[in-house]
Chain A
Amino acid sequence: AAGVIQSPRHLIKEKRETATLKCYPIPRHDTVYWYQQGPGQDPQFLISFYEKMQSDKGSIPDRFSAQQFSDYHSELNMSSLELGDSALYFCASSSDGYTGELFFGEGSRLTVL
């Protein structure tokens, strides 16, 4: 079965650079969520989109932005990267006919040097 696809899986950047992470939800899923998981931490909600509109906002820094496109994929843009942005970034997707099933991708590991 198709899963949530994230790219890139690994990314290394230097401070003050920018990075873009991509998420392709499960087919027919229209809601996308972004989470950040620091080392040894639990996942923290950043932002979500439903039908290409922002639906909820969590602890996303102002330096970050995200959007969902017409094909339902989503991109998380991170600028002026800081050392503390080093983390695993997860994308998850769900469908409008919500059954409780919320599936995560394998994550994108960002390392900021």
Chain B
Amino acid sequence: GEDVEQSLFLSVREGDSSVINCTYTDSSSTYLYWYKQEPGAGLQLLTYIFSNMDMKQDQRLTVLLNKKDKHLSLRIADTQTGDSAIYFCAESHSGNTPLVFGKGTRLSVIA
């Protein structure tokens, strides 16, 4: 079955880079996502990548995809206290199919 794994916690100092890692098992995953969730809030789409790409950059965010190892990472440059949140990795087979989420990584940014 489908499975998405993430480490549960990450702590970084303000100004440093954060790297959140995710592994998935479904080789037919087509879209891979990163969502941010602040306490009591909704799921904010940060970025997504197609499985035929290996990198996507959007301002402070860099997504790397190693399709062979089924490994996805999210790098946040110059991490700020406002980046403290839970980050969910998610995958889907194709367009219009449900997402499968990881358990989420809680990022704590220390000032």
Contacts and interface: CB of A to CB of B under 8 A. Distances in A.
Interface of A: 31, 33, 41-45, 48, 50, 55-56, 58, 90, 92, 94, 96, 98, 100-107
8 contacts: A33-B99, A42-B88, A43-B99, A58-B98, A92-B99, A94-B95, A102-B33, A104-B35
A107 B104 CA distance: 17
Nearest to A31: B96
Nearest to B48: A100
Contacts of B35: 104
A43 B48 contact: no
- Interface hub of B44, B48, B95, B100 (most chain A Cβ within 10 A): B95
Contact of B102 (A42, A58, A96): A42
- 8 closest Cβ pairs, A-B complex: A98-B95, A106-B42, A104-B43, A45-B98, A42-B101, A100-B31, A100-B48, A107-B42
Interface of B: 31, 33, 35, 41-45, 48, 50, 88, 92, 94-104
A17 to B, nearest CB: 23
A86 B92 CA distance: 26
- Interface hub of A42, A50, A58, A104 (most chain B Cβ within 10 A): A42
Contacts of A48: 96, 98
Contacts of B94: 98
A105 B37 CA distance: 12
A102 B42 contact: no
Nearest to A94: B96
A96 B96 contact: yes
A94 B90 CA distance: 15
A102 B104 contact: no
- Interface hub of A33, A44, A104, A105 (most chain B Cβ within 10 A): A104
B95 A104 contact: no
Given A33-B98, A43-B101, A56-B97, 20 more contacts: A41-B103, A42-B103, A42-B104, A43-B43, A43-B88, A45-B100, A48-B98, A55-B96, A56-B98, A58-B98, A94-B96, A98-B95, A100-B48, A102-B48, A103-B45, A104-B43, A105-B42, A106-B41, A106-B42, A107-B42
